[in-house]
Amino acid sequence: MRRERSHGRMTFALAAAALVLLCVTTSGAAEPDAATEAKAAYDRGAAAYERGDMATAARELARADALLPNPVALASALRAAIEGDEPVLGMELAARASARSEDATLVELARTARARFGARVGKLRVICPGACRVSVDGAPFEANEERYVRAGPRVVTIEQGAAREEIAAEVSAGASLTVTPKRPPDTQKPADGSRRRSPVWFFVGLGATVASGAALTVSGLQTKGLHDDFVARGCPGPAAPSDCRGIASDGEGAQVRTNVFVGLTAVFGLATIPLGLFSFGGGDEPASARLSFETQPGGGVAKVSVSLP
């Protein structure tokens, strides 16, 4: 019998709200789009209530009231939330009713909602230092705004760019909780990294330096061998053999070739150093490079050393 009386009162309230919405829409007092959307949401809410889907009825009626504030629609949404046992929406609607109207019906419904749902919800605010996407238990949640959530353990997911963080939060009934990311995004490192260049040319330069250094080593060894042969044959001197001139000529050519490789290796090495600094620099520690030569007796044998952090 109580259910039938409640259903009868609700049906009468729905009809009254529909009449008010119709009058507002036809009078042009509200924006056409908002009035049309409010009427459509109200119709969906009324249909859901008639088939016993209180959760949908409460959501749609609440949306209709948000688009086109109406005390009858708000009261209908509150009744549907109470009958459908929707604690979060019920508390949100109770807060809306208290802030908007002193209507006796709304005041009583808000008091009923708080008495029934107050011990089952808490308030949660998720603060992001920048743009972010937030969800609570997988459902979208508005960042930087305090909203009602069910009391108990909640999983807050915060996405900022490519970073994703999950935070376990315990929301106490009747209390407020603020959650912030534990690891704020570091905007400095990407900026530093953006100044780096592709390391391809560095490795090309390094390869050329190594190849030139290897050729320099071979040429230097050959030059040293010719020099040793020149000395072993007693060249130069009054008793120099007849082929000293040929050995000297070969040695001079080898020495010139070795000197050319010394210059090429130095050029390649010096060009590779700034490429390495651009490719690997910009981190917490500055990059460094070093190029050194060691000349062996009788030839220009080079040792190339390039160091980077």
pLDDT digits (tens, 9 = 90+) for 206-245: 777 777 777 768 777 777 776 766 666 667 665 456 667 6
**For residue 51, pLDDT beyond 70:** yes
pLDDT, tens digit (0-9, with 9 covering 90-100), for 120-138: 999 999 999 889 999 999 9
Distance CA 107, CA 210 (A): 86
Query: What pTM did the predictor assign?
Result: 0.54
* CB count in 10 Å sphere of residue 257: 18
184 vs 181: CA distance, rounded Å: 6
The average pLDDT across 68-83 equals 93
**Is 287 within 8 Å of 276 (Cβ atoms)?**
yes
Mean per-residue pLDDT over the chain, rounded: 76
Using alpha carbons, list the distances in angstroms from residue 237 to 18, 58, 122, 231, 243: 125, 115, 106, 10, 13
Closest CA to 289 of 229, 220, 191, 205: 205
